[in-house]
Amino acid sequence: MNVEFWKSFFDFGTLFLVFLSVVFGVFALITGNIINKRQAEQIRNFETTLTAAQTGLATEQGKTAEAQAENAKAQLALEQYLNWIGKSVDVRLPDTKQLIASLRSIPKFSIEIWYETGVDEEPHSFALQLKNALGPEGVGWTVEIKPFAPKRESDPEFGPAPLLDVMRRTADLEGIAFGGSVKDVGAHPPSPLFTLTQAIGESTSPLWGSQSFGDTSIPDGHVIIAIGPHRPNVPTVKFAHPKK
């Protein structure tokens, strides 16, 4: 083989390599375009999915915000309702200073306080506070407190009954009742007994009712106080049904 053969061989090889380069370049370009299109499609699909997800998230956030707003309204309504209940079931608290000042100028009484049992401790607590205000440390009167006997199923609710039982029934309904002599109860205001009942009513919050009874069995200058349970005056609240 002479030199001309090898030159021709290498020239052909060079041309063949150039051809292969062109072919590979073309196919590289074609496959690159295919890959780019697929990647662009994937990006578009991802953006579509992301947009849908963001829209769904925004919708859910809107629903959550609405639910939170409704919950806040319900919570506020509940707090207001509990406030009403809290105010209505407050224990009876006499303003001791006001009560003592109101009774300094009237004649002395001997006081007998009876309080209801078996419901809660509030009637007993109220009786003790009245004793402290009216007794030796307060106005300076003689005060004795006694619990009512537990009620029995056989006890009559209506009909003739001793004065103390009548006062107990009244206190059960109105919270407190007063008993005095016929002279003290029948005296025109401002009688000492009237001043006493008014002073307790005005100095005690909340005190939602009282009634006075006169009886010949009670001596002049002696007062019986019957304390019943403090019943809550709970308001009626209407709750709106949730929107569907």
Domain that holds residue 165: 93-227
pTM for this model (two decimals): 0.57
Are 27 and 144 part of one and the same domain? no
Enter the tokens of residue 241: 């049904």
User: Binning pLDDT at 50, 70 and 90, where does residue 156 land?
Assistant: low
67, part of any domain: yes
Are 163 and 75 part of one and the same domain? no
User: Binning pLDDT at 50, 70 and 90, where does residue 236 land?
Assistant: very low
User: Binning pLDDT at 50, 70 and 90, where does residue 161 land?
Assistant: low
Are 193 and 97 part of one and the same domain? yes
- Answer whether 132's CB lies under 8 Å from 138's CB: yes
With b for 16 or more beta-carbon neighbours within 10 A and e for fewer, the 67-96 pattern comes to eeeeeeeeeeeeeeeeeeeeeeeeebebeb
235, part of any domain: no
Three-state SS annotation for 150-207: CCCCCCCCCCCCCHHHHHHHHHHHHCEEEEECHHHHHCCCCCHHHHHHHHHHHHEECC
Q: How far apart are CA 170 and CA 227, in angstroms?
A: 9
In the chain, count H helices and then E strands: 6, 7
Domains held by the chain: number: 2
242, part of any domain: no
161, part of any domain: yes
